[in-house]
Chain A
């Protein structure tokens, strides 16, 4: 099905390890986003991209890096994982006119850092 695909779905890391979360969309959307979801906190924006080759910081960017080398892919990296990064991570994408179309979300990656 067309949409946003996130890999992996689950991961357990040890403190200090690194990993990359992959987000792929096949809708030719210009804009892509990484959010984290924590109990009682809602969704918080980590980083976003307004087009291929561009990235920008969101609300909670510390400890994360991103890259958008291809329009359809948006990667989220953790260089040195910490227990505070235990969360569910959601990728989303959108057309430019957000007011008309909103976001399309992936199904999430549940990350546990021990």
Chain B
């Protein structure tokens, strides 16, 4: 079946540090890949997505590239801010026409001034 594995947190970084959150997946076919962000006390929000191999999703300074050869979708940001403190979830769907997402367990990021 489909599964998503994320690096375990929590991750604590100083402001302006470089961020990488690893995500690898197992899936049949050609899934679409997502990163969601959950700020304290809120629901999940779509951060970025990629629907085919070698696609790069980007939003708010975050980036992730769909690597089919390594089955990975690592999240990166060059310079984090305190406001980026949140829980980040990697997720996959089974591709166009699918209607279910499989989520990783989430990685909590804390950014300190």
Residues of chain A at the chain B interface (Cβ within 8 Å): 4, 31, 33, 40-43, 45, 48, 50, 58, 90, 92, 94, 96-100, 102-108
**How many residue pairs at the A-B interface have CB separations less than 8 Å?**
62
Asked if A90 and B43 sit within 8 Å, CB to CB, the answer is yes
Instruction: Give the chain A neighbours of B27 by CB distance below 8 A.
Output: none
Residues of chain B at the chain A interface (Cβ within 8 Å): 32, 34, 36, 41-46, 49, 51, 89, 93, 95-101, 103-106
Instruction: Give the chain A neighbours of B96 by CB distance below 8 A.
Output: 97-100
> What separation, in Å, do the CA atoms of A90 and B49 have in the docked complex?
20
> What separation, in Å, do the CA atoms of A48 and B98 have in the docked complex?
13
Instruction: Give the chain B neighbours of A106 by CB distance below 8 A.
Output: 43
Instruction: Give the chain A neighbours of B103 by CB distance below 8 A.
Output: 42-43
Asked if A41 and B105 sit within 8 Å, CB to CB, the answer is yes
Instruction: Give the chain B neighbours of A94 by CB distance below 8 A.
Output: 99
Instruction: Give the chain B neighbours of A90 by CB distance below 8 A.
Output: 43-44
Asked if A105 and B44 sit within 8 Å, CB to CB, the answer is yes
State whether A105 and B32 are in contact (beta carbons under 8 Å apart), knowing that A42-B106, A43-B89, A97-B97 are contacts in the complex: no
State whether A40 and B105 are in contact (beta carbons under 8 Å apart), knowing that A96-B97, A99-B96 are contacts in the complex: yes
Sample (12) of A-B pairs whose CB atoms are under 8 Å apart: A40-B105, A42-B89, A43-B103, A50-B99, A58-B100, A97-B96, A98-B97, A98-B100, A98-B101, A102-B34, A105-B43, A105-B44
